[in-house]
Amino acid sequence: MTRERLYLFDTTLRDGAQTNGVDFTLNDKLAIAKMLDELGIDYVEGGYPGANPIDTQLFAEDRQLAATFTAFGMTRRPGRSASNDPGLAALLEARADAICFVAKSWDYHVRVALETTPEENLNSIRESIRAAKSRGREVLLDCEHFFDGYKANPQFALACAEAAYREGARWIVLCDTNGGALPHEVEKIVGDVVKIIPGDHVGIHVHNDTEQAVANSLAAVRAGARQIQGTLNGLGERCGNANLVSIIPTLKLKAEFAHRFDIAVSDAQLKRLAHASHTLDEMLNRAPNRHAPYVGESAFATKAGIHASAIMKEPATYEHVPPERIGNRRKLLVSDQGGRSNVLAELDRIGIATEKDDERVTRLLEEVKRREASGYAYEAADASFELLARRMLEKVPNYFNVEKFDVNIEQRENALGQRVTVSLAVVKVKVDGGHLISAAEGNGPVNALDLALRKDLGKYQSYISGLELTDYRVRILNGGTEAVTRVLIESQDETGERWTTVGVSPNIIDASFQALMDSIVYKLMRSGAPT
């Protein structure tokens, strides 16, 4: 059976850039465009040339993408000619393969927002498409508020779409701009549209305001649309856009879609999806969503012991797709609910060989349970678990010893007469029989301690220079007679690998110190530092 081609259009750099707190630089945009290209996305929408300096610069050069590099902008303004509209001129000047115009398709918006007539709106669509086509560009038309417009006045909404199609637009994109449509409505309305415009010219662009953007996109495909627009990690204004990171694996791995459609993303490219998703979060300085479908750290994590033993025998028992397909991995959480099979699976993953009835595994399991009862959380701290396991089952080199540390917090007036609080940490470390003393100031006591610890580790310094703390979480636990503090520290290195370590103590500095030490020792071990 020949499969139909389904196209993916990414708008992370345009619609995704509307996300609160997201501000892409030119270099960010170039890096993301390259990443999208490497993933096999068909269309990469770069932005809005003429609207801001970064987007104008982005389109000032040919960016040499395999994808169709697309510029976004408005159709010509009402009451002007196409040749006398600076916005349209900037769009036509852009070094883009395609132009995606946005136009009103809801008569209410034409009247209230544009203050013009339905006929003038249709003329603006036709003339803008004609101008772009005469410059040799592929043209797309985003029909803004299409679904709301269709509900209010189907004739007018369809007239806008049809005018664009007749004028030669390659794609007529139906937009749920306010994000309120539901899957059955999308399926019905797209079904109506494809009676007039062939489905292989119809695209879908939806927002996630009822958390159904992915479902709505798939509903549109079921009804006949053949282009899906979305963003990486569902970035976008308000509640975001349709999340391509969830849509792509669904199209590739779910039989209903995989049997009917081809997308340009290959199996090898699909394996990079988790990495791409996490890389974008890193660029935005956000911790990746652990619970993200397909790519999140917890997407294939199983906690209870009985499930874990089944998963080890037959992964499909508790997994809807194989995690490796998306570049994710199976994770069996080691926790007080888990039993021996969890620990065995985790040891297997980190590459520690054990015998079936190994006594040491029993001791490790008991130690994990004892520590978790006192506040440790190994299911969230894979690196601390690995260190504990290696210490009990193998050997972890004693790279260095911290002989003592001292942290001071001082509040005083600075030279400008402002009250400031400064922290100073001094660390005395023994490496290779020699003593090293480092001091560092930080914006808080833990920061100062971290900086002092990593300032000079003698011959190990080069192994930890790429180490960076990316997240620091503190929780006060009320267990037994006194409150204890649990600190989780997430680190990453120059290769992009991330790991989490844990420390527990009634004293927050001490808990942080434990987690910091685990992180450094883990990094030395991973890097194969000599003893």
Q: How far apart are CA 404 and CA 449, in angstroms?
A: 11
Residue pair 359/366 in contact by the 8 Å Cβ criterion: no
HSE on the CB side for 374, CA within 13 Å? 11
Q: Does 176 bind Zn ion (CB under 5 A)?
A: no
Measured from each CB, the residue nearest to Zn ion is 15
Nearer to Zn ion, 171 or 463 (CB): 171
Is 97 a binder of Zn ion (CB under 5 A)?
no
Give the total of residues touching Zn ion (CB under 5 A): 1
Query: Coil, helix or strand for 118?
Result: helix
Minimum distance between the CB of residue 107 and Zn ion, rounded to whole angstroms? 20
CB of 241 to Zn ion, least distance (A): 6
Closest of 243, 239, 212 to residue 228, by C-alpha: 243
Close Cβ partners of 316 (under 8 Å, ≥ 6 residues apart): none
Pairing of strands 7-10, 401-413: unpaired
For the bound state, the minimum distance from the C-beta of residue 102 to Zn ion, rounded and expressed in Å, comes to 9
Among candidate residues 467, 464, 456, 463, the one with its CA nearest the CA of residue 429: 456
Minimum distance of Zn ion from residue 354's CB (angstroms): 52
Q: Which is nearer to Zn ion, 179 or 327 (CB)?
A: 179
For residue 101, the minimal CB distance to Zn ion (Å) is 13
The answer for 187, left when phi > 0, alpha when psi is -120 to 50, beta otherwise, is alpha
Judged by CB under 5 A, the chain residues 2 through 31 that form the site for Zn ion are 15
Q: Are strands 261-262 and 482-492 parallel, antiparallel or unpaired?
A: unpaired
Q: How many CB atoms lie within 10 A of CB 482?
A: 8
Helices marked H in 194-313 — which ranges? 213-223, 244-253, 255-258, 267-270, 273-283, 305-313
CA-to-CA dists, residue 443 to 27, 91, 360, angstroms: 29, 47, 43
- Least distance to Zn ion, CB of residue 63, Å: 22
We find the least distance from the C-beta atom of residue 230 to Zn ion, in angstroms, to be 10
- Give the C-alpha separation, 274 to 247, whole Å: 13
Q: How far is the CB of 19 from Zn ion (least distance, A)?
A: 11
CB of 519 to Zn ion, least distance (A): 40
- Smaller CB separation from Zn ion, 15 or 55: 15
Closest CA to 129 of 171, 79, 93, 190: 171
Under the binding rule (CB under 5 A), the answer on residue 518 touching Zn ion is no
CB of 15 or CB of 382, closer to Zn ion: 15
Strand-strand pairing, 227-230 and 7-10: parallel
Residue 144 binding Zn ion, by CB under 5 A = no
Indicate the residue among 15 and 379 with the shorter CB distance to Zn ion: 15
DSSP 430-492: EETTEEEEEEEEESSHHHHHHHHHTT--GGGHHHHTT-EEEEEEEEEEEETTEEEEEEEEEEE
Interacting residues with Zn ion (CB under 5 A): 15
